Structure formats: structure tokens, C-alpha cells
């Protein structure tokens, strides 16, 4: 017999739910409402009531070449970062899944970066990939300026993407390893009997069976690349959007505009465009990629 | 063609040893069945031949080549798995042809051989289906087709019939036997089902607790089990085993002395276990003999099995004639001396008695294999 307690009063359940409701209202719905309000109004610089300006904020955003630059940077960042993080996580998971001696230790090591906050990872990488000293400086001893993220935009963008990959490969690794472990061992053995080596088996058997997991990771990683709080943190702690806006991803630009430029209206309009962009990307993924995924 | 030589093969996982030195030879073209209860190491042995488990010590050679260090694909074996292990995302044709695809066989040639194989296993109409849309028996056929298409030297079967229902199992058994005759490869079939083992095997290997108990032709093993374990594992219902002692050339069973052949006199005073198959037990015609208390009767139509208690131990007799027995009623059996099996009580090994012990060509009653 199942035992459940029934509350007769109506106010008690509401009291229990109240803290959660307050949090959601305060930190989710209220900011969304504020962003919607700001996106269509303009606050006079020297105080007074906000003035309704219709779509003027959006018009301004779309005419700003720096904005389009940040869209392009964000797309490169999210696509390269997401795909590389998934690919590296997959390779590591395939290696650990073979359960060779020591795989337990490596499994622990591969998950570890995910536990490090993005900005902290960014600071660490400033030392690791510094052009003046350390590991990457060896490149510059071959040829000056072979690696200089402080000077070249492309280097800087590669630099922040590397931090993103470093952190999120640990996350994709967890999901992909769990997925691989649910592939029956007999299938791998059958493929081995059929003459298929480890790499061939991965391509022919394991990856197709992982398709649902890979698709889930593609959607979540792309979203993380566009709007993740860590994406802002990584850029903020390393390049601060530079040099010459080469690493100014959309989230960084929004925060910068709102809290340095004090342009709440413009930042709000950009936020709404960003949300729209993510919806478009997710739609594309479901429309064109999901149909090739076989769920069991 | 390939003979399989297994030389003092051992397997341990950490400190636990699961195979304690196995020596076997499977001659070319034979159908070998490895029979044993679960956990006896039979599957491990098969997987070591396949190359899916490492060989801790000893040697396995296929066709004269030691394969210990070879990858599964280099050994020329094909395997049918217990759960079929079909690739769920591939069609039947792709499943069957996967080995050829990996081997780089051209597409047209591949197509031809897939169709040929599919027609042998009766799957020509299902080539485009996915495994999920097939019945258990059809999946089993795909697994066999996938193993066949490479024309392997050695066929390995890991309890392939245990997931099928009883009726399908009987027909698949016949198909596997036919397939073996057609391909003429060496087949090794692992099972815990003694009926499967008896019907399929040219050569039967009985294993227990990581050791080989007995190797031989099925009928030889049935008639001359090498130990009490083999005696009780093969045959249904199981052989009756009773503790006794040889006194004055007789054994006392159920308050009755059964006279042994004169050759058994040398065993005077030995502690033994006496075995007799239920099929060889007869009802006493004059009411005297080995006494037991009847329990119940299992009616099989063609015969019946009388279950009784003899000195507190279960005792079964397969009887041809119709009998009416009430529970609790005393019943007298006759145990023909020539059908008694004698085992050493301590070790459980068979004691060979010269002369008219079990005759190896005695007719086997139908019950034994049903």
C-alpha cells in the first residue's frame, strides 16, 4: 500500500512553493519583462520617463557594423567550439570505453576540466598560451609572432575557442561515455569477429548508435557557445573582446554595451535578436539533422 | 580446414581461476558441443578460441597456427552470439554483408554473395528490413548468415538457441546441423541444454567448475559417464545415485542386496555410489526387490515416470507399462545388475568393472532424449 499524506488546506502547498515561485519571478520573468520594455523604449540620459520609440532600437542595432561583426564572431565561436568539443569528447570517450588498464584514472582526468569555472580556466590559459613565456612561446622562438593573440584577431579567436573546447570536452565526454557504455558489448565483439578494427568499429557501429546523444550535445553546445555564461566569462577573463573586436562574441557585446556603455535599450534589443538567432539555429538542427538520427 | 588444439589452457580473472588447465583436440569438420552448467567456464573457453578473451596460460592453435597473440579477425573464426548481436541500425543485407564490406569486397560481388547467403538461410524476402522488425527465429538466421558469408574455417556458437521458444529451438537445431554438413567447417557449440548437446554433437565435451569432466561421443558418455557429475547432468530424468558399499559381491540398495558380476569382487568393502538410469529400472514382477515409497507419477503418454523415496532419497523410474500407484504405497523395483554404474564415493569417478557392466550398444529408450 502506498502511503501519501494529503494536505487539506489550500494555503500550505502555496507556502511551500512560494520560495521557488519568488525566485522564478524575480530572476526570470521580471528581467525578461524589463528587457522587452527596454528594447522598445529609450531612456533619456538625464532622467525622466522612458520614451517609447518602437523599432528604432532594432534599426540602430542592425545598422551597426560592429554588431554584425559580433554575430559573425559568435557563429564562428559556437560552431568551431561545439563541433570540436564534441569531436574531442567522442575520441576520449571511445578510448576510455575500451577499458584498457588505467582507463579509470583517465576518465577522472577528462571530466575534471568541466568542474573548473570558465573565467578561472581563462586565467589559467592566459599563462599556458602566453606569447611571451611558457609553452606557446616556443612557437615564437621558431619565428617571431607565429603565435600572438594580443596582436592578431585570428589568434585571439582561436585562443578563446580553445578554452571553450578544453572545458566543454569534459562535459561531452561524460554524455558520450555513458552512451557508449549502453551499446551492448556483444555488438562490438561481433564487429571484431567480422574483421573490423577499433577505428572502423567506432565509425560503423558506435557513432551511429550514439546519434541521439550526439544530436543532443550539438544543440546544447551550440546554445552554450552563443549564450553560455561561461562564454562571457572566458572572453572577459582573457581578451576582453579584443584585439580590435576580434573576439567580441554577442554575449560579451551585450554585457559591455549595457554596463559599460550604459545603453540598456540597445543591449536589450540585441538580447532579443540573440534569442531569435538561437531559435533559428535550433530549428535548423531539428529540421535537417534530427531526421538522420535513429532513436532506438 | 582447421583442427583446433587446446593445450593446458587456463584463465584467471585477478586471483580467481575459472579454467584450470583444459586439454582438448577438435578435429577438422567435427561438430563439437561443450556442455556444462552455467559458470563452468564453457563460454569463456569459446571466447578464448574466438579471441575475445585473453588466454592466461597455455596455447590455442587453429589449423596448426598458435593464435594466442592474434586478433579475432586474424583467426578465421565466425561466431553466433546468444543475443544475436545484430547491428540495430543496419538492414538485414548490411548485417549479413558487413564482414565483406570491411574486407573491401566490391559492391556487385558483395550483393551477389549476400543474396546467395540469404537464400540459404531463408531470408531473401527480408533483406531491406531492420533487425527490430524481425521475429526471434529470423534474427537467429541473420546471425547465422552473417557468420556464414565469410566461409570461416571455424564456426563458434555461444548458446544461440537459448532465447528461442521450445518449438523454434527444435527446428533451428536441425537447421544448424544441416548448415554444418553443408559448410564442413569445424563447429564448436556451447550450451547448457543436454538435449541440444546429445542431438547435435559428433563429439561432446562435458565441463564442470572449469575442468573437463569427460570427452566422447554422446552415446558413449550416456552409457559410460566418467563421474557422478556427468551421470547426473546427462539424461532426463537424471540418473538415480545412491550411496552404498560392496559387501560379499553385492551392493545393498533400499534394503535389498543386488548381486554384482564376479569381477566386482576385487572392490570388496569399498565405499561407493551406485547409479542407475530411470529407464533401466523395472517394476518387480513378484513384489520383492528394492523397496521404495511411491510419491507421484508423471504421465507422459508414451511412458510414465514414477517418483518415489528410497531410504529418504528421491528415486525415479521410467516405466513403459501402465501402473496405478497411490502416494505412500510401497513399491518394489528391480535393478538389473548389468545396468548399474559404480562410482568411487570419495572422488565421484567411475569404477570400471570388467564383464557385463553397461553394454555400450544397448537400445536407448525413447524417453532418454525426449
- Output phi, psi for B257, to 5 deg: -95, 125
Q: What's the CA gap between B146 and B127, in Å, rounded?
A: 12
State the pLDDT at residue A22: 94
Dist. CA B97–CA B86, nearest whole Å: 12
- The predicted pLDDT at position B261 comes to 76
**Cell triple for B151:** 566461409
Tell me whether domains B4-223 and B237-356 share a fold: no
In contact, A73 and A157? CB cutoff 8 Å? yes
CA count, 13 A, side-chain hemisphere, B142: 31
Round to whole Å and give the CA distance between B162 and B191: 8
Cα angle at B209 between B310 and B55, to 5 degrees? 165
Laid out side by side, the sheet with B65-66 consists of B16-26, B4-13, B57-62, B65-66
Chain B interface, mutation test: which of A98, A99, A191, A195, most B Cβ atoms within 10 Å?
A195
pLDDT for the residue numbered B354: 57
Let me know if residue A260 belongs to a domain: yes
Determine the Cα–Cα distance for residues B214 and B204; give it in Å rounded to an integer.
Answer: 8
Chain A environment of B99 (Cβ under 8 Å): 194-195
Predicted confidence at residue B361, as pLDDT, reads: 39
Phi then psi for residue B7, to 5 deg, are: -120, 115
- Report DSSP state, residue A202: I
Q: Which of residues 206-225 of A touch B (CB under 8 A)?
A: 208-209
* Residue from A224, A227, A234, A230 nearest A254 by CA: A227
- Touching check for A186 and chain B: CB below 8 Å? yes
Name the region of B119 (left: φ>0; alpha: ψ -120 to 50; beta: rest).
Answer: alpha
Question: Domain spans of chain B?
Answer: 4-223, 237-356
Three-class SS of residue B56?
Answer: coil
Triad B104, B107, B112: Cα angle to 5° = 115
CA–CA separation, A243 and B354 (whole Å): 100
Please answer yes or no on whether A190 and B79 come within 8 Å at the CB atom: yes
Beta bridge partner(s), residue B243: B273
Query: What ipTM score was computed for the predicted complex, to two decimals?
Result: 0.79
Residue of chain B whose Cα is closest to the Cα of A295: B89
At the fourth CATH level, the homologous superfamily of domain B4-223 is: P-loop containing nucleotide triphosphate hydrolases (3.40.50.300)
A99, A158, A201, B81, B88 from B94: Cα distances, Å: 28, 41, 14, 18, 10
Does residue A29 belong to any structural domain of this protein?
no
Q: Which residue of chain B has the CA closest to A296?
A: B88
Residue numbers in A near B77 (CB within 8 A): 193
Distance CA B227, CA B337 (A): 19
Closest of B2, B147, B1 to residue B60, by C-alpha:
B2
Decide if B6 contacts B25 (C-beta within 8 A).
Answer: yes
Q: How many CB atoms lie within 10 A of CB B123?
A: 23
Residue of A189, A194, A296 lying closest to B52 (CB–CB): A189
From chain A, the residues in CB contact with B146 under 8 A are 190, 194
CA distance A56 to B17: 79
The C-alpha of A196 sits at a distance from chain B's nearest C-alpha, in angstroms, of: 6
In this structure, are residues B310 and B241 in contact, taking their beta carbons and an 8 Å threshold? no
Considering the domain boundaries, does residue A11 fall inside one? no
Q: Which one of B43, B53, B71, B72 would you mutate to disrupt binding with A, by most A Cβ within 10 Å of its Cβ?
A: B72
Cβ-defined contact of A189 to B99 (cutoff 8 Å): no
Pairing between β-strand B154-158 and β-strand B77-80 as defined by DSSP bridges: parallel
State residue A288 phi and psi, 5-degree precision.
Answer: -110, -25
Residues 6+ apart with CB under 8 A from B353: B260, B261, B263, B264, B267, B342
The C-alpha atoms of residue A113 and residue A172 are separated, in whole angstroms, by: 11
Name residue, grid cell 531470408.
B123
Task: State the DSSP H helix or E strand holding residue B78, giving kind and residue range, or none if neither.
Answer: strand B77-80
Distance, CA of A77 to CA of B148 (rounded, Å): 50
Determine the length of chain B: 370
CA distance B27 to B205: 13
pLDDT value of residue A2: 60
Low-confidence ranges of chain B (pLDDT < 70): 1, 265, 354-370
Asked whether residue A231 is assigned to any structural domain, the reply reads yes
Neighbours of A192 (CB within 10 A): 21
Across the interface, do A190 and B99 touch by the CB < 8 Å criterion? no
Each residue's pLDDT tens digit, A180-190: 998 888 899 99
The answer to whether the Cα torsion of A193, A197, A203, A207 is positive or negative is positive
pTM (two decimals): 0.77
Domain containing A260 — which CATH number?
1.10.3720.10
Residue B157, min C-alpha distance to chain A (Å): 12
Strand B57-62 versus strand B203-208 pairing type: unpaired
Number of domains in chain A: 1
CATH topology of domain B237-356: OB fold (Dihydrolipoamide Acetyltransferase, E2P) (2.40.50)
Non-local (6+) Cβ contacts of A34 within 8 A are A268
Select from B77, B86, B89 the Cβ nearest to the Cβ of A193: B77
pLDDT in tens, B23-52: 888 998 899 999 999 888 888 999 999 888
Query: Considering the domain boundaries, does residue A91 fall inside one?
Result: yes
Closest CA to B93 of B138, B126, B120, B69: B126
Flag residues of chain A having pLDDT under 70: 1-3, 7, 45, 294-296
Domain containing A268: what range? Answer: 56-292
Domain-located, residue A47:
no
Best residue in A184, A190, A196, A293 for a mutation probing chain B (most B CBs within 10 Å): A190
CB atoms within 10 A of CB B37: 12
Residue A274 lies in a domain: yes
pLDDT given for residue A45 in this prediction = 67
Kindly write down the DSSP assignment for every residue of B308-358, as one continuous string. Answer: EEETTEEEEEEESS-----TT-EEEEE--GGG-EEEETTT-BB---SSSS-
Tens-place pLDDT, residues A199-229: 999 999 999 999 889 999 998 999 999 988 8
CB contact under 8 A, A195 and B103: yes
Ramachandran angles phi, psi of A195, nearest 5°: 95, 15
Amino acid at each position: 500500500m502506498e502511503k501519501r499524506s494529503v494536505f487539506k488546506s489550500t494555503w500550505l502547498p502555496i507556502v511551500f512553493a512560494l520560495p521557488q515561485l519568488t525566485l522564478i519571478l524575480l530572476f526570470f520573468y521580471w528581467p525578461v519583462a524589463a528587457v522587452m520594455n527596454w528594447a522598445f523604449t529609450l531612456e533619456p540620459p538625464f532622467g525622466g520617463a522612458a520614451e517609447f520609440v518602437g523599432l528604432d532600437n532594432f534599426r540602430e542595432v542592425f545598422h551597426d557594423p560592429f554588431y554584425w561583426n559580433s554575430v559573425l564572431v559568435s557563429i564562428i565561436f559556437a560552431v568551431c567550439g561545439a563541433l570540436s568539443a564534441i569531436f574531442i569528447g567522442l575520441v576520449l570517450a571511445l578510448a576510455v570505453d575500451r577499458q584498457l588498464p588505467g582507463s579509470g584514472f583517465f576518465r577522472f582526468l577528462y571530466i575534471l576540466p568541466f568542474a573548473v569555472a570558465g573565467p578561472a580556466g581563462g586565467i589559467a590559459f592566459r599563462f599556458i598560451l602566453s606569447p611571451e613565456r611558457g609553452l606557446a612561446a616556443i612557437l615564437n622562438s621558431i619565428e617571431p609572432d607565429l603565435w600572438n593573440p594580443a596582436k592578431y584577431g585570428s589568434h585571439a579567436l582561436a585562443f578563446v575557442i580553445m578554452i571553450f573546447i578544453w572545458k566543454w570536452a569534459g562535459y561531452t565526454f561524460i554524455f558520450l561515455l555513458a552512451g557508449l557504455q549502453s551499446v551492448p558489448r556483444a555488438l562490438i565483439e561481433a564487429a571484431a569477429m567480422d574483421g573490423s578494427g577499433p577505428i572502423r568499429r567506432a565509425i560503423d557501429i558506435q557513432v551511429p548508435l550514439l546519434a541521439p546523444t550526439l544530436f543532443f550535445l550539438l544543440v546544447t553546445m551550440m546554445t552554450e557557445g552563443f549564450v553560455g555564461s561561461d562564454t562571457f566569462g572566458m572572453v572577459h577573463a582573457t581578451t576582453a573582446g579584443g584585439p580590435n573586436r576580434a573576439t567580441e562574441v554577442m554575449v560579451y557585446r551585450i554585457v559591455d554595451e549595457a554596463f559599460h556603455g550604459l545603453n540598456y535599450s540597445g543591449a536589450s534589443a540585441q538580447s532579443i535578436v540573440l534569442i531569435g538567432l538561437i531559435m533559428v539555429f535550433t530549428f535548423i538542427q531539428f529540421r535537417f539533422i534530427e531526421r538522420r538520427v535513429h532513436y532506438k | 580446414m582447421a583442427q583446433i588444439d587446446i593445450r593446458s589452457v587456463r584463465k584467471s580473472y585477478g586471483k580467481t581461476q575459472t579454467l584450470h588447465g583444459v586439454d582438448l583436440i577438435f578435429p577438422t569438420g567435427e561438430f563439437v558441443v561443450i556442455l556444462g552448467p552455467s559458470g563452468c567456464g564453457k563460454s569463456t573457453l569459446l571466447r578464448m578460441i574466438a579471441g575475445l578473451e585473453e588466454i592466461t596460460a597455455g596455447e590455442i592453435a587453429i589449423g596448426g597456427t598458435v593464435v594466442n597473440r592474434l586478433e579475432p579477425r586474424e583467426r578465421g573464426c565466425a561466431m553466433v552470439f546468444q543475443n544475436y548481436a545484430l547491428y540495430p541500425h543496419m538492414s538485414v543485407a548490411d548485417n549479413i554483408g558487413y564482414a565483406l564490406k570491411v574486407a573491401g569486397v566490391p559492391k556487385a560481388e558483395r550483393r551477389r554473395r549476400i543474396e546467395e547467403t540469404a537464400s540459404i538461410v531463408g531470408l531473401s524476402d527480408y533483406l531491406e528490413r531492420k533487425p527490430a522488425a524481425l521475429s526471434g527465429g529470423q534474427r537467429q538466421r541473420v546471425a547465422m548468415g552473417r557468420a556464414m558469408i565469410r566461409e570461416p574455417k571455424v564456426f563458434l556458437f555461444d548458446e544461440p538457441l537459448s532465447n528461442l521458444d521450445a518449438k523454434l529451438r527444435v527446428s533451428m537445431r536441425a537447421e544448424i546441423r544441416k548448415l554444418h554438413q553443408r559448410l564442413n567447417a569445424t563447429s564448436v557449440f556451447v550450451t547448457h541444454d543436454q538435449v541440444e548437446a546429445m542431438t547435435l554433437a559428433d563429439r561432446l565435451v562435458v565441463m564442470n567448475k572449469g575442468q573437463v569432466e569427460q570427452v566422447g561421443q554422446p552415446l558413449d558418455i550416456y552409457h559410460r559417464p566418467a563421474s557422478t557429475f556427468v551421470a547426473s547432468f546427462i539424461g532426463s530424468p537424471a540418473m538415480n545415485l545412491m550411496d552404498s558399499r560392496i559387501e560379499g559381491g553385492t551392493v545393498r540398495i533400499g534394503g535389498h542386496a543386488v548381486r554384482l558380476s564376479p569381477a566386482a569382487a576385487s572392490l570388496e568393502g569399498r565405499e561407493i555410489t551406485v547409479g542407475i538410469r530411470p529407464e533401466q529400472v523395472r517394476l518387480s514382477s513378484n513384489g520383492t526387490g528394492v523397496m521404495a515409497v511411491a510419491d507421484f507419477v508423471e504421465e507422459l503418454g508414451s511412458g510414465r515416470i514414477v517418483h518415489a523415496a528410497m531410504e529418504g532419497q528421491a528415486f525415479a523410474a521410467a516405466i513403459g507399462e501402465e501402473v496405478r500407484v497411490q502416494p505412500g504405497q510401497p513399491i518394489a523395483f528391480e535393478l538389473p545388475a548389468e545396468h548399474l554404474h559404480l562410482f568411487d564415493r570419495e572422488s565421484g569417478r567411475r569404477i570400471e568393472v570388467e564383464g557385463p557392466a553397461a553394454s555400450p550398444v544397448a537400445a536407448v529408450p525413447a524417453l532418454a532424449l525426449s
